[in-house]
A and B are shown apart, each in its own frame.
Chain A
Amino acid sequence: MEVTIVGIKWDEILITGDPIILGSQIAILLTSLGIIGGLTYLKKWKWLWREWITTVDHKRIGIMYIVAAVLMFFRGGMDGLMMKAQTARPEMSILDSQHYNEVFTAHGVIMILFMAMPFLIGLMNVVIPLQIGARDVAFPQLNALSFWLFFSGAMLFNIAFVVGGAPDAGWTSYFPLAGKEFSPGIGNNYYAISLQIAGLGTLMTGINFIVTILKMRTKGMTLMRMPMFTWTTLITSVIIVAAFPIFTVALALMTFDRLYGTHFFTVAAGGSDMLWANLFWLWGHPEVYIVILPAFGMFSEIISTFSRKQLYGYKSMVVSIVAIAVLSMLVWVHHFYTMGSGALVNSFFSITTMMIAVPTGVKMFNWLFTMRKGRIKMTTAMLWSLAFVPNFVIGGVTGVMLAMGAADYQYHNTLFLVAHFHYVLIPGVVFAVFAGLYYWWPKMFGFMLNEKLGKWHFWLFVIGFNVTFMPMFFLGLNGAVRRAYTYSAESGFAPLFMLSAVGSVILAAGFAVFCYNIYWSIRYADRNISSDPWDARTLEWATSSPVQHYNFAKLPEVKSLDAFWYMKKNNEGITLKDEEIEEIHMPSNSGLPFLMCVAFGIVGFFLIFEWHLLAAVSTVLIIAGLIYRSFDYNDGYHIHKDEIRKTESTWKKMEGKVNNHVS
């Protein structure tokens, strides 16, 4: 007799029978054993718990986000390479059609939600409190919870392909395909549940950063003196708060449809499949601005620093960001012009979409004018920013082509679209996080990434990227559709597909150099560097690198834009007098966010497997966590003056005799 609380047979839990998946299972097992063994051997468990897992320090949380994002980039990139290998030649059989579906779904979801977003949120975490001269975010423990919820969701999503079956309806998971009728397995439950958990974390991050930026700016930092990255983070957070609840609802309704037999998106019993498409993109388009705006902010900082000039057109930058944020809410229909809403609706959305090009163009010119007559330093971070400009313009111009409703009937669902969004996402987001990583790495760790390896990384990646995706524009125009696992030899697509596959190998080589660079720098990079190695302009560089856990002994006072630059030029407020040292209040560590991650993971897992009873019972874990939190009156602790005095004199003494690595 079947056990009824279990919606899946026991022998179906672990996916078997596919050599690639078997290999991955073995690899996962070995890696996990390796990590556990290594930590035990080196006696690092306590350290891991005390310094990282329970931390509420925004800088460490940021670093954890970044580490997770790099790993996810690796996973998503592997998926990308598998697809490129499969389509390198016609009629290949590395992946069958089902497996290809699973791979592009995993790739899309992971790259956007578990790579791009956490990478940016990680850098925001590291940088924003420092940039506004604060000691932490507004709600440090909530911040840790955000991270751990993201982590919980990401881990759940990542085990799908070995445990229970992978989602296969694309990152957009359109109905009716994603519904129970056409996807009866549990694979697509992974999509609904794990994104829900991660999304909750993102929403909290949005709230946290709005309050942090509005309430915790240091003395003198008016809104119009905020660094551009802070501005973009603020507006991004607003978009998060405005858009993520829509996704929350959409995913919840999807869960109801799949688990409890409701009829929101089914065609039977009066549901509407296009309702899903609308809800999805009502969140989905703002989502692409959630990932692009912080990237714009980082480029602004980097371009200004290495052009050694104030950002050109600061006010117009702010206005453009706000305009982009508003417009981002009004364009969602451009993802399904072919649904046939009629000429009037399509025209309206064509116009709003094209309008976004205007503020974006303003920003482009501002960056160019910032560089004009600047004494540009060609560091790796600056190279990424320079490459961003022309590559992103290609993405933007093809975007305007796609924006025309009538013309889109031709491009829709072809590789032209795939090339377009990779041309905005990779130069926009990936170049930005690489640039940001090279730029803020010394701030995080006190040593730089190797600039020479950085240049190899840069050239391989940028060339590889263009060779991979440029051919896809032409393939798409010739009629190659997206999400197709193969094509015939007669189609004539073979040469361009081959070229594209070669490109992806170059791109992967670039990523490999990046990983090697991290390894090399951790082992060999010079530790004796300045806390301000780039001669930068904003407040995060006004303190030690790596940053002491209380950030600033004395909160800096801001007198103008580019506050730190001003302080250096006028020799103001940089030195610390002994009588200025005061005790500093800091929040205590907490294990609760991590335990909530485990609790959400367990409940999520049971829901995914449709073990409703177990899910209901284990919800008690989450409730227990909430109750514990409500009664928790831990008010943090104070850092003594002596400790501050010691920390401050150590790093300030160092400053006199550092090595310079930037010419």
Chain B
Amino acid sequence: MSANVNTSLPLEYQTEQSRMNILGFWIFLGAEIVLFATLFSVYGVLYKNYAGGPTHQDIFMMKEVMIQTVLLLTSSFTMGVAIWEMRRNNKKGLIGWFILTLLLGAGFLFMEINEFIHYIHEGATMQTSAFLSSLFVLLGTHGAHVTFGIFWATMVIIQIAKRGLTPVTARKTFIIGLYWHFLDVVWIFIFTFVYLKGMVL
């Protein structure tokens, strides 16, 4: 099964197994799109059901959200640079940019947790209203993905450090890259349809 090696392709695409893993991951991202689309629809159905509790304008902190957005978008950029370094076969550069990406991701996460704590202090909990239930679960699912991504990427970084750039570590890195950009795209939708829309309505 590891046969069919094609060295003219980028490292992560060289073995047949790698090509299958990457295709499989794209399909998995398809499933993730459906998952987030469902969460967005749920939010779309419930977002005005405040049940006498706080509304969007009562709780949203736009400045913090802007910072979160910048952090995450930048991390997507640095992730791109990391993959570019990988293509140049520069292990040090790859690891450096990769770590920077994760730090930005962790910064995003830190701010998001603070945001949640702030909401709870305002009396806006997941149990308060259907609007808040859907808000917390939508944001929380995205945040949980980022958390998972950070842990996962850390393990891959250890593997790159130990084993160097091999077809397998390159493939793993590339797949995390896809995952990370995907989370960024989801965030853009959250930013637009949850925060911006929530503030103007």
Contacts and interface: CB of A to CB of B under 8 A. Distances in A.
Interface of A: 135-136, 138-139, 203, 206-208, 210-211, 214-216, 241-246, 248-250, 252-253, 256, 260-264, 268-272, 275, 279, 282, 585-587, 627, 630-631, 633, 635-636
A139 B20 contact: yes
Contacts of A635: 2
A264 B134 contact: yes
Top 5 A-B pairs, shortest CB-CB distance: A270-B49, A270-B130, A262-B133, A245-B35, A245-B34
Main secondary structure of the interface of A (DSSP, over half): helix
Interface in B56-76: none
Interface in B31-71: 31-32, 34-35, 38-39, 42, 45-46, 49-51, 53
B159 A631 contact: yes
30 contacts: A135-B1, A136-B1, A139-B24, A203-B31, A207-B24, A211-B24, A215-B19, A215-B20, A241-B27, A242-B30, A245-B31, A245-B35, A246-B34, A246-B38, A248-B35, A253-B42, A262-B126, A262-B133, A264-B133, A264-B137, A269-B49, A269-B51, A269-B128, A271-B49, A271-B133, A272-B45, A275-B46, A630-B155, A631-B159, A636-B2
B102 to A, nearest CB: 15
A256 B31 contact: no
A636 B126 CA distance: 47
A587 B17 CA distance: 12
A138 B20 contact: yes
B106 to A, nearest CB: 18
B168 interface: yes
Contacts of B39: 249
Contact of A215 (B23, B32, B45): B23
A272 B46 contact: yes
A156 to B, nearest CB: 22
Contact of B24 (A136, A208, A242, A260): A208
B37 to A, nearest CB: 8
Residues of B in contact with A, size category: 35 or more
A271 B128 CA distance: 11
B152 interface: yes
B98 interface: no
Contacts of B3: 585
A574 to B, nearest CB: 23
Given A207-B28, A270-B46, A270-B49, A256 B137 contact: yes
A244 B46 CA distance: 22
Contacts of A242: 30-31, 34
Interface string B107-141: 00000000000000000001111110110110000
Contacts of A207: 24, 27-28, 31
A272 B130 contact: yes
B35 A263 contact: no
A241 B20 contact: no
B27 A210 contact: yes
B156 interface: yes
Contacts of A245: 31-32, 34-35, 38
A208 B30 CA distance: 13
Interface in B139-168: 152, 155-156, 159, 168
B141 to A, nearest CB: 8
A345 to B, nearest CB: 15
Contacts of B168: 633
Contacts of A271: 46, 49, 130, 133
A631 B20 CA distance: 19
B158 to A, nearest CB: 8
A269 B52 CA distance: 8
B24 A636 contact: no
Contacts of B53: 269
B155 A631 contact: yes
Given A264-B134, A271-B130, A249 B38 contact: yes
A203 B137 CA distance: 21
Given A207-B24, A245-B35, A636 B129 contact: no
Contact of A264 (B20, B24, B31, B130): B130
B27 A211 contact: yes
A138 B24 contact: yes
Contacts of B131: 270
Nearest to A204: B28
A432 to B, nearest CB: 26
Contact of A244 (B19, B21, B31): B31
Given A207-B28, A262-B137, A275-B45, 4 more contacts: A139-B24, A256-B137, A263-B129, A633-B168
A279 B133 contact: no
A256 B42 CA distance: 14
B127 A261 contact: yes
Contacts of A269: 49, 51, 53, 127-130
B1 A270 contact: no
A261 B130 CA distance: 11
Nearest to A248: B35
B85 to A, nearest CB: 22
Contacts of A208: 24
A268 B49 CA distance: 10
Nearest to A139: B24
A263 B51 contact: yes
A180 to B, nearest CB: 12
B42 A264 contact: yes
A33 B83 CA distance: 55
A260 B126 contact: yes
A270 B30 contact: no
A138 to B, nearest CB: 5
A246 B31 CA distance: 9
Contacts of A261: 126-127
A244 B28 CA distance: 12
A586 B21 CA distance: 17
Contacts of B129: 263, 269-270
A580 to B, nearest CB: 15
Contacts of A282: 38
Contacts of A627: 155
